[in-house]
Amino acid sequence: MKARIHVSLKPGVLDPQGKAILGALESMGVDGVSDARQGKLIELDLADTDPDAARARVDDMCRRLLANTVIETYDIDLSE
Protein backbone atom coordinates (compact mmCIF):
# COMPACT_ATOMS: atom_id res chain seq x y z
CA MET A 1 0.00 0.00 0.00
CA LYS A 2 1.24 3.49 -0.84
CA ALA A 3 0.65 6.67 1.15
CA ARG A 4 0.95 10.12 -0.38
CA ILE A 5 1.21 12.83 2.27
CA HIS A 6 0.74 16.51 1.48
CA VAL A 7 2.29 18.85 4.04
CA SER A 8 1.32 22.52 3.60
CA LEU A 9 2.06 25.64 5.59
CA LYS A 10 -0.97 26.95 7.48
CA PRO A 11 -2.59 30.10 6.10
CA GLY A 12 -0.79 33.17 7.45
CA VAL A 13 2.56 31.43 7.87
CA LEU A 14 5.24 33.20 5.80
CA ASP A 15 6.16 31.16 2.72
CA PRO A 16 9.32 32.53 1.06
CA GLN A 17 9.48 29.64 -1.44
CA GLY A 18 5.93 30.38 -2.59
CA LYS A 19 6.73 34.08 -2.90
CA ALA A 20 9.82 33.22 -4.99
CA ILE A 21 7.68 31.10 -7.33
CA LEU A 22 5.14 33.90 -7.67
CA GLY A 23 7.89 36.43 -8.41
CA ALA A 24 9.53 34.14 -10.96
CA LEU A 25 6.22 33.51 -12.76
CA GLU A 26 5.57 37.26 -12.91
CA SER A 27 9.06 37.97 -14.27
CA MET A 28 8.48 35.30 -16.95
CA GLY A 29 5.37 37.15 -18.06
CA VAL A 30 2.89 34.59 -16.70
CA ASP A 31 -0.19 36.40 -15.43
CA GLY A 32 -3.40 35.26 -13.78
CA VAL A 33 -1.68 33.61 -10.80
CA SER A 34 -2.75 35.35 -7.60
CA ASP A 35 -0.98 33.16 -5.03
CA ALA A 36 1.58 30.37 -4.85
CA ARG A 37 2.42 28.20 -1.85
CA GLN A 38 5.05 25.49 -1.63
CA GLY A 39 4.76 22.47 0.61
CA LYS A 40 6.17 18.98 0.84
CA LEU A 41 5.05 15.77 -0.81
CA ILE A 42 6.08 12.58 1.00
CA GLU A 43 5.45 9.16 -0.54
CA LEU A 44 5.73 6.03 1.59
CA ASP A 45 5.60 2.35 0.65
CA LEU A 46 3.81 0.53 3.46
CA ALA A 47 3.57 -3.14 4.36
CA ASP A 48 0.02 -2.60 5.73
CA THR A 49 -2.94 -4.09 3.88
CA ASP A 50 -5.76 -2.63 6.02
CA PRO A 51 -6.49 0.99 4.98
CA ASP A 52 -7.79 2.05 8.41
CA ALA A 53 -4.73 0.70 10.20
CA ALA A 54 -2.42 2.23 7.58
CA ARG A 55 -4.08 5.63 7.92
CA ALA A 56 -3.75 5.57 11.70
CA ARG A 57 -0.08 4.62 11.45
CA VAL A 58 0.70 7.30 8.87
CA ASP A 59 -1.20 9.88 10.91
CA ASP A 60 1.03 8.99 13.87
CA MET A 61 4.17 9.34 11.69
CA CYS A 62 2.97 12.77 10.51
CA ARG A 63 2.38 14.04 14.02
CA ARG A 64 5.67 12.66 15.37
CA LEU A 65 8.03 13.35 12.47
CA LEU A 66 6.79 14.43 9.07
CA ALA A 67 4.82 17.60 9.82
CA ASN A 68 5.31 20.44 12.29
CA THR A 69 1.70 20.81 13.38
CA VAL A 70 2.36 24.23 14.89
CA ILE A 71 2.81 25.75 11.43
CA GLU A 72 1.82 22.98 9.01
CA THR A 73 -1.26 20.97 8.09
CA TYR A 74 -1.20 17.59 6.35
CA ASP A 75 -3.51 15.24 4.52
CA ILE A 76 -3.04 11.60 3.62
CA ASP A 77 -4.02 9.77 0.40
CA LEU A 78 -3.80 5.99 0.44
CA SER A 79 -3.71 3.80 -2.67
CA GLU A 80 -2.97 0.18 -3.48
Residues in touch with its own copies (CB under 8 A): 4, 6-8, 18, 21, 24-25, 28, 30-48, 57, 61, 64-66
Q: Least distance in Å: CB of 31 to its own copies?
A: 8
Residues 6+ apart with CB under 8 A from 37: 8, 9, 15, 18
Are 74 and 8 contacting, i.e. CB atoms less than 8 angstroms apart? yes
Give the residue with the Cβ less far from its own copies, 43 or 70.
Answer: 43
Q: Least distance in Å: CB of 70 to its own copies?
A: 19
* Alpha carbon distance 68, 44 (integer Å): 18
